[in-house]
Structure 1
């Protein structure tokens, strides 16, 4: 079983977290996330200081899905599915090797509660079991210990460091630590 992650917009529900489409009513919370400097010190995406810019992003998320460029989902606690606490991303899908890259960021108020770990777990289960990908990968700045811990708790393998291999907005050329999880690693 293998299909494109773009066949249907994901709506992923576990007992702890829900990953769902980001909608206009999420604007205030989305702006809180995208305008918080602490959330972007380890991110290739630039901080957004203008609420109108963030509002435009919501329609761009839909456009990017339709163009098969990327999937942006709101991370919610399942007991409060209308309030996003973070963003989950799936992008750079390669159908030849059935590989996709993931990313995530959480509202600072929700750090340290295991939500990012649960969101990554929900994404990997969805991608392996519903989409049929073989490889999920993530790239992390070497100093981003919290994100490394999230991936390690989800049994991702650190493959190595891509030295000076990427340009991140606001930082220039950076080293990134590559993590991966294969379908065959995921046997429970």
Structure 2
């Protein structure tokens, strides 16, 4: 039996990282992420050049959770729990299908350290084991090889390319690769 992922705000602790609620004191770290052009090259989310805009987003994260629309979690290293190094995104929960879509964005200063891979692993463990989700999926632009590698390292299956099937802000109509992981894929 699965639980609704919006019943309780997630706080996910793994070996080296924690995914936690984003709070007002995270503004500087969050602005560093959302104002970095490198992080939005393959993203439907637009770059934010104004710190006030990012400050407003923090309140919207709480609102969107309460509306059961999406969940944004700060990715922190356990050695620095007050410093967000990235953002984990959780959205498009379907109770009927028992699936959820994930995304992630990491400050480029922390690329190449396995943090995104550990983040996806922490999210999949949480959704399969604590919430009882059956299917987790992610959409990736074909050009975003690093993100595809993160998903593949977590045993996600490449289902195929959705050709010119989505409009992403700032990108126009795009092709996206759909990756998924089923609970049964993780069973021994």
CA distance, structure 1, for counterparts of residue 155 and residue 187 of structure 2:
11
1:116-173 deviations in whole A, cap 9, x for unaligned? 0000000000000111110000000000000000000000000000000000001110
| 1:102-121 deviation digits (Å, cap 9, x = unpaired) | 00000010000000000000
User: 1:187, CA displacement in angstroms?
Assistant: 1.2
* Structure 1 residues without counterparts, runs of 5 or longer: none
Q: State the partner residue of 2:19.
A: 19
Structure 1 partner of 2:30 = 30
Aligned length: 188
Instruction: Give the deviation of 1:20 after TM superposition.
Output: 0.1
Give me the whole-angstrom Cα distance separating, in 2, the residues matched to 1:164 and 1:94: 23
Alignment correspondent of 2:107:
107
- 3-state secondary structure, aligned to 2:146: helix
Tell me whether 1:90 sits opposite 2:90 in the alignment. yes
Residue equivalent to 2:156: 156
The structural deviation recorded for 1:36 is 0.2
In the alignment, is residue 56 of structure 1 matched against residue 30 of structure 2?
Answer: no
TM-score, with length taken from structure 2: 0.99
Aligned to 1:183: 183
**Counterpart in 2 of 1:165?**
165
Provide the rounded CA distance (Å) in 2 between the counterparts of 1:168 and 1:36.
18
Task: Name segments (4+ residues, structure 1) moved above 6 Å.
Answer: none
SS of 2:2's equivalent?
coil
Q: Output the CA distance in 2 between the equivalents of 1:160 and 1:18.
A: 31
* TM-score normalised to structure 1 length: 0.99
What is the alpha-carbon root mean square deviation over aligned residues? 0.5
CA distance in structure 2 between the partners assigned to 1:118 and 1:86 by the alignment: 12
For 1:48-73, what per-residue CA distance to the aligned partner results, in whole angstroms no more than 9, with x for missing partners? Answer: 00000000000000000000000000
